[in-house]
Amino acid sequence: MSVTLVTGGAGYIGAHVVRALLANGDRVVVVDDLSTGFADRVDVPLVPLDLAGAGASEALASVLEEERVDSVVHLAALKDVGESVADPERYYRVNVLGVVHVLEAMRRAGVRELVFSSSAAVYGNVDSESVDEDAPCRPINPYGRSKLVGEWAIEDATRAWGLRALRLRYFNVAGAGGRHLQDRVAANLIPIVLDRVRRGEPAQVFGADHPTADGTCVRDYVHVEDLADAHVAAVQALRSDSTGDDALNIGTGRGASVREVIDVVGAVTGTTAEARVVDRRVGDPAAMVANPGRAHRLIGWRARRDLREIVRSAGE
């Protein structure tokens, strides 16, 4: 039986990835500092560890060796764009040092397969609405830059000591695979809109003068269960030696504007969902939609769930 270690496995995305790996027949070990994760999401071995802290690489290497880990999925990171603008030092410390310590531990323990949780934020403002992996990476906020630095470190490790890695660039993740696994912090658009609609409050729209069809930002929303399946496919691809160093967009290839999301939330909940336009946020690109073709070609993955299903599962 293959053993996969998941950092950040007690988090919203991580718990879905753990469940998908277990369904695939893996034995799973989770490492999480529980700063944003919840231990009750995890029913596999859980090692509390701050991956950005002193001695983290040595401690993680011991876990890798003791558990006889074959592959690592590195999810543990901070991910709030606005927070990263206000506190960039924290984002570089957690997101970049975390990657460095994971790489050091893997090299020390002789573990050579890594799936890395990256982000479409590495692209920044793109020239076209649909973006593929060959687009220039010009992140416009500290969060995106911290993810890109992590990618660079991983690429260098593949050349230096034979690491085999896939960097998954997530687009906008939402939805849930059941009430127990829902995102418990309303920090992304869909749960925020759902929360406001339930309270009878208008949903905030950050700018209605973007260069898009209706003036609001356009994003590619991918169901968290589809995202979890992408991690399983990536791990399997590394094990089969079919690929070993690439970046893959994880999205649907279909964009939805903020106003469209609000309309879908209203339709799913049977409620009139109102919007209130406020100022743009610093660091928000106008449109970001994945071209996910490379993920289909290299690891055989494509998203199966649509926006309505995402909203319905997030609101259950």
Sequential pLDDT tens for the chain (316 residues): 899 999 999 999 999 999 999 999 999 999 999 999 999 999 999 999 999 999 999 999 999 999 999 999 999 999 988 899 999 999 999 999 999 999 999 999 999 999 999 999 999 988 777 999 999 999 999 999 999 999 999 999 999 999 999 999 999 999 999 888 887 776 678 988 888 888 888 988 999 999 999 999 999 999 999 999 999 999 999 999 867 789 999 999 999 999 999 999 999 989 887 888 998 877 677 888 999 999 999 999 999 999 999 999 997 6
Is residue 257 located within the same domain as residue 138?
A: no
Which listed residue (12, 91, 123, 143) is catalytic?
143
- How many Å apart are CA 105 and CA 213, to the nearest integer? 47
Burial of 95 (0-12, 13-18, 19+ CB in 10 A): buried
* Helix and strand totals (H; E) in the chain: 11, 15
User: Which structural domain, as residue segments, surrounds residue 67?
Assistant: 3-173+223-250
Are residues 135 and 55 both part of a single domain? yes
Residue 219, C-beta contacts closer than 8 angstroms, at least 6 positions apart: 171, 172, 189, 255, 256, 258, 287, 288, 289
Determine how β-strand 218-219 pairs with β-strand 256-257: antiparallel
Residue 140: other Cβ atoms inside 10 A: 17
Q: Determine the pLDDT at residue 283.
A: 64
Residues 103 and 19 in one domain: yes
CA end-to-end span of the chain: 34
Structure tokens at 184: 């418990």
Q: Are residues 19 and 155 in the same domain?
A: yes
Overall number of domains in the chain: 2
Q: Which two tokens stand for residue 312?
A: 């319905």
Same domain for 201 and 129: no
Active-site residue flag, 170 = no
- Measured CA to CA, the distance from residue 70 to residue 154 in angstroms comes to 17
d(C-alpha 205, C-alpha 264), whole Å? 15
Same domain, residue pair 32 and 149: yes
